[in-house]
Structure 1
Amino acid sequence: MCLADDHSLMRDGLKEVLRAVPEFAVVGEASTGTEAVMLAARLRPDVLLLDIGMPGPRASETIRQITRVAPETHVLVLTMNDEPEMVHDLLEAGATGYLLKSILREELIAVIRSVTSRPPNTVVLIVSRQTAARLKSRPTHPVEPLLTEREAVLLGLVAEAMSNAQIASRLFITEATVKRHLTNIYAKLNAVSRVDALRKARAVGLLDAGRNGGRPQRYPSLPVADAAVVRPGR
């Protein structure tokens, strides 16, 4: 797993806790959001413990970038911030868990052990009772897809090695329109070529959705209503 916190003392304390567990291994550390993303991309850890008050991008954007470059990594937010809006935003961004830093050592270990074995459509919360109650009563909103339906379908045809002319013929559009769609896709995926776009789309689960004609989700994320509250914090 990896640790991301701008306080070295906090990282040292977490390492001491985690070293006591034989199956845990801390393989990397970061002190900014940007470093956390780079670390996740390079090491692809099973779990990344993330503080949300670090220098760099907003926490939600940091989590989105991590889920894009390392979709198999479980991001556990570890913070003192207990605001329902923050909890909701970071879960929607793709966090697997949201834990207060007042968590007990045994609880942290139990959460880390559980996240890799839980179904992918659940998250873990350890927050105050008041925050848990407000989250349960909050309405959820659908997540906007990263690609439009037409872009997703077009990318699926690119994956079938079709040329621009073949795609235009299949979709009854002009080649100029195909090129415009590809330009938009490259921009949204931060890609520089067809191969790069396909690689990045597969990494975040967009390609299968496009080939099946569905509307892919923007990021691997969860509505708060699906959250599993382990134990409200004190």
Structure 2
Amino acid sequence: MTAPADRRARVVVADDHTLFRQGLVEMITVTGDFQVVGEAGSGPETVQAVGRCRPDILLLDVEMPGPGAKATVIELTRLYPETRIAILTMHDDPGLLHELLRCGAAAYLVKTIARSELLAALHALARDGRNVLLSVSRETIDKLKRDSPEPEVALSDRELEVLHLTAQALTNAQIAVRLHIAEATVKRHLTKVYSKLGAVSRLDAIRKANAAGLLRGVTRFEAVTAEGGSG
């Protein structure tokens, strides 16, 4: 959900340090672009405030009394998915970042950012409901990239069968005989496999499937050049 252009974005600020929270409220309000509609100092208070105020954005501190940030984000995402949750924390931690984004947070901002960066992030969240915003160190970004697993490729059982036989250097005609299907059906399955793997050839598909762990147990990987093997 994004705030309509004809009204100010509604914000709830959740932080258990009263002075810091009041400073955030003043900083956000003085711009005239946002309306702070609620405050909270614990996890349960945050859930109640969001339910009562239905804000466009929740600015959420990680360390507050209650069930913890992860549980709070999960509950809020389930109950009020239209509210975008921006984590504001002292912890420049790739593990925590990954965990909270996976639970549904839309932004992860460290408290060392400048006022202008915070306001820019809030403007972006209010304007576009699709993007995920990060304001962390380069080291954290690099570690997050290194630690992130490759996305899983969902191939059907038949597509996997065709792929395994392709990796064993069988031609389309040979695969068709082995699986008791038409050769045109083999080609259709391979076309889908190429699309899902982002491959441009049989050898490319085999390499990418191997890298994704889809060909475990297959020991022979060859580019097939025989007639009927290029489709």
Aligned to 1:6: 16
In the alignment, does 2:137 pair up with 1:137?
A: no
Q: 1:25 aligns with which of 35, 38, 46?
A: 35
For the aligned residues, what is the CA RMSD?
A: 1.6
Aligned to 2:97: 87
**Mapping 1:59-208, distance limit 5 Å:** 59-120=69-130, 122-140=131-149
Which residue identity is paired with 2:144?
A: L
- Which protein has the larger Cα radius of gyration, Structure 1 or Structure 2? 2
- Provide the rounded CA distance (Å) in 2 between the counterparts of 1:119 and 1:79: 21
Cα pair distance change 1:35/1:142, threshold 3 Å? farther
Please give the TM-score of this superposition, normalised by the length of structure 1: 0.58
Report Cα offsets for 1:32-52 as digits up to 9, x if no partner. Answer: 011111111121100010001
Deviation of residue 72 (structure 1)? 0.6
**Which structure has more RCO (C-alpha within 8 Å, separation ≥ 6)?**
1
- Provide the rounded CA distance (Å) in 2 between the counterparts of 1:15 and 1:140: 38
- Provide the rounded CA distance (Å) in 1 between the counterparts of 2:149 and 2:35: 36
Cα pair distance change 1:53/1:46, threshold 3 Å? same
- Provide the rounded CA distance (Å) in 1 between the counterparts of 2:112 and 2:148: 28
Report the number of matched residues.
142
Aligned to 1:37: 47
Comparing 12-21 and 43-52, the one that deviates more: 12-21
Which residue identity is paired with 1:111?
A: A
Cα pair distance change 1:93/1:141, threshold 3 Å? farther
Cα pair distance change 1:95/1:141, threshold 3 Å? farther
Structure 1: stretches of 5+ with no match in the other structure: 144-234
Deviation of residue 137 (structure 1)? 1.6
Cα pair distance change 1:57/1:114, threshold 3 Å? same
Please give the TM-score of this superposition, normalised by the length of structure 2: 0.59
- Provide the rounded CA distance (Å) in 2 between the counterparts of 1:34 and 1:119: 25
Whether the 8 Å contact between 2:84 and 2:129 is mirrored in structure 1 is no
What is the percentage of aligned positions where both structures have the same residue? 45
Deviation of residue 95 (structure 1)? 0.4
Whether the 8 Å contact between 1:48 and 1:75 is mirrored in structure 2 is yes
Structure 2: stretches of 5+ with no match in the other structure: 1-10, 153-231
